[in-house]
Structure 1
Amino acid sequence: MTDPTALPDLPLPEQRQAAIGHDGARGAILAQLAEGRLPGAIMFHGPEGIGKATLAFELAVAILTATGDEDAHRVSEQVAAFSHPNLSVLRRRPKDARSYYSVIRVEDVRELREALHHTRGRAGHRIAILDSIDDCNPNAANALLKTLEEPPADTTFFLISHRPGQLLPTIRSRCHNLALRPLPDDLVASVVTTSLPDLDRTALERAIQLAGGRPRRAFETLALAENSPVGALVLWLRRPDAAPVAAHLQLADALGSDPQGADMSFAREILNDWLATEMREAAMEPGARRRLASATELWEKAGALLAEADSVNLDMKQTLVVLFDAIRKHCALIANPAEPE
């Protein structure tokens, strides 16, 4: 089972099987395993690239070992090779030799459901990992819901979600939900240096600065040129209202020059994260009605601008100019409110 999101030359989650951090979630599931009360479905949700799938495979090895009749080393080898008969993994399937389907399809979920209702291939619990459930189209999500409502005996589903708010509420309600958070910088560094022990210190520090607690993003950063405008975007977002207008015009010009390039793709992730954080903080701040209203308007405007640019191939430079100007105005508003809230 290939991974459509795999990064070149880096081990996959099923090969790592040892997530760094996330001790609370790990401890909770291992305690339930020891007490013999594993949930039928567990959802790990949180930002993409923080180790959710790696943790799921790590726990799959622990569960298959504890409930089966083989030692951990043998089980780990089989999980890495997808040869353990009690393990099923569902990802977006290859469409041809060079591409993948854009979604997990209903027929993929039905195949999984049929496989889980067959006689198990070996003693012990069965594990099904969906990486990620966000990729399910509506028909696939409904088919999965039926399976979660009537799950096979002694089977645990691990559902990986980067955007749980977009899932069917009935799916979330069938799961034991565990939120995983971005990692502190020292743990991001540990993940990166485990795979790249000879990495230059300067490159490591730059990767950590841009990672935002996501090891995957740190690896992606290493593929960017040293003079990438992404670093300038991160610095600008710290105080957009304090920077001169020329700064965001230069950013828009540098990022928008290649709308399909790695820099722009990375920049969109960073912008989405910044907007989501601003929404969350505004919602949690007592009495911050004006900030929340402005953040909500900004979120909607950003989504509409980028979607329109994608759908009708608008000039990305101009789209970014409008978006950056809206961000500056929002930050100026909350820094200098015209009237008390």
Structure 2
Amino acid sequence: MTDPSALPDLPLPEQRQSAIGHDATRSAVLAQLADRRLPGAIMLHGPQGIGKATLAFELAVAILTATGDESQHRVSEQVAAMAHPNLSVLRRRPKDAKGYYSVIRVEDVRELRDGLHHTRGRTGHRIAILDAIDDCNPNAANALLKTLEEPPADTTFLLISHRPGQLLPTIRSRCHNLALRPLSNDQIADVVTASLPELDGAALDRAIQLSGGRPRRAFETLALGENSPVGALQLWLRQPEAAPIAAELQLADALGGDAQGPDMSFAREILNDWLATEMREAAMQPGARRRLASATDLWEKAGALLGEADSVNLDMKQTLVVIFDAIRKHCALNANPVEPA
């Protein structure tokens, strides 16, 4: 099964099978394996691009080896080739020669479910990896829920989620939930140099600075030009209310010129991260009702504007001008941490 989110010229998660970091999560699952008390479903959740899928395949190799009758080397080879009979992987399927479906469909989940009820191809546990469960449409999510409620014997689901809060609560409640965190700068450097050992120091430093603790984002940074406006966006977001309005217009012009380009794609991730962080910090700040309400409105407005721009092909530059202006006003409104009684 091909990976629709694969980055060019980099190994896939099933080929890596060795995640850097996430030691506590790894140890917790391996302890359950050693004690023969693996749960029926494990959800690995955290920001996109921090190595959740790589860790899932690493754990799959460990489980298949411990419960089967083949060496780890042999199991690892089969997993890398997606040829192990006790491993199933569900991702968005190819739609045609040019692209993939935008969601995991209910028929995809039913095919996975039916396959798991067949006689297993080899001794040992069976593993089903969903990468990512967030891609399931509502019908697919409901079909998956029924499978999790009555899972096949000796089968463990490894569910990868970038946005667990948006999943059905009943799905989350059926899983052993393990949160993964962004990596340190040193760990990001280890991941990047493992794939790109000849990378020069300046490029590596820039990738680390823009990664936000996500190896995937570090690799995406390397695909951008040295003069990409993404760095300017990050600087602007540190204090939007203090920057001149002309800076907003320049950023919108630089980023919105190619709505489907890598700069804009990266910028949208950074904006989403900033908005999510602003909401989280406001929710944790005592008495910050005004800030939380403003942040919530800002999140909804930005999401609606970007969604509308995508669906009817609106001018992305103008969309960004409106979003940047709303961010600046939000920050100016909440610059004073003391709210009226």
Deviation at 1:244, TM superposition (A): 1.7
Aligned residue for 1:71? 71
Aligned residue for 1:232? 232
Deviation at 1:169, TM superposition (A): 1.2
**8 Å CA contact 2:42, 2:157 repeated in 1:** yes
Aligned residue type for 1:61: V
Matched, 1:320 2:320: yes
**8 Å CA contact 2:64, 2:125 repeated in 1:** yes
> What secondary structure sits across from 1:335 in the alignment?
coil
Deviation at 1:308, TM superposition (A): 2.0
Q: Superposition RMSD on alpha carbons, in Å?
A: 1.2
Aligned residue for 2:33? 33
Aligned residue for 2:260? 260
Q: Aligned runs of 1:131-210 on 2, under 5 Å?
A: 131-210=131-210
Moved over 6 A (4+): none
Deviation at 1:193, TM superposition (A): 0.5
**8 Å CA contact 2:92, 2:135 repeated in 1:** yes
Identify if the C-alpha distance between structure 1 residues 93 and 236 changes in structure 2 by more than 3 Å, giving closer, same or farther: same
Deviation at 1:339, TM superposition (A): 4.3
Separation (CA, whole Å) in 2 of partners of 1:338 and 1:47: 31
Separation (CA, whole Å) in 1 of partners of 2:321 and 2:96: 39
Aligned residue type for 2:3: D
Separation (CA, whole Å) in 2 of partners of 1:193 and 1:131: 25
Q: Aligned runs of 1:1-341 on 2, under 5 Å?
A: 1-336=1-336, 339-340=339-340
Separation (CA, whole Å) in 1 of partners of 2:294 and 2:177: 30
Deviation at 1:340, TM superposition (A): 3.6
Separation (CA, whole Å) in 1 of partners of 2:312 and 2:126: 46
Separation (CA, whole Å) in 2 of partners of 1:86 and 1:317: 49
What per-residue deviation string (whole Å, max 9, x for no partner) do you get for residues 179-207 of structure 1?
11111111111110100000011111111
Deviation at 1:337, TM superposition (A): 5.3
> What secondary structure sits across from 1:49 in the alignment?
coil
What per-residue deviation string (whole Å, max 9, x for no partner) do you get for residues 115-172 of structure 1?
1111111111110001111111111111111110100111000001111122111111
**8 Å CA contact 2:287, 2:339 repeated in 1:** no
Separation (CA, whole Å) in 1 of partners of 2:83 and 2:313: 45
| TM-score normalized with structure 1 length | 0.97
Greater alpha carbon shift after TM alignment, 73-82 vs 329-338: 329-338
> What secondary structure sits across from 1:330 in the alignment?
helix
Separation (CA, whole Å) in 2 of partners of 1:250 and 1:338: 32
Aligned residue type for 1:3: D
Separation (CA, whole Å) in 1 of partners of 2:225 and 2:51: 25
**8 Å CA contact 2:290, 2:339 repeated in 1:** no
- Matched length: 341
Specify every segment of 5 or more residues in structure 1 that has no aligned partner in the other structure, as ranges.
none
Separation (CA, whole Å) in 1 of partners of 2:139 and 2:255: 37
Deviation at 1:317, TM superposition (A): 1.3
Specify every segment of 5 or more residues in structure 2 that has no aligned partner in the other structure, as ranges.
none
Deviation at 1:245, TM superposition (A): 1.6
> What secondary structure sits across from 2:100 in the alignment?
coil
Greater alpha carbon shift after TM alignment, 158-167 vs 93-102: 93-102
Greater alpha carbon shift after TM alignment, 64-73 vs 305-314: 305-314
Percent of residue pairs bearing the same amino acid type:
86
Separation (CA, whole Å) in 2 of partners of 1:7 and 1:160: 18
Separation (CA, whole Å) in 2 of partners of 1:158 and 1:294: 37
| TM-score normalized with structure 2 length | 0.97
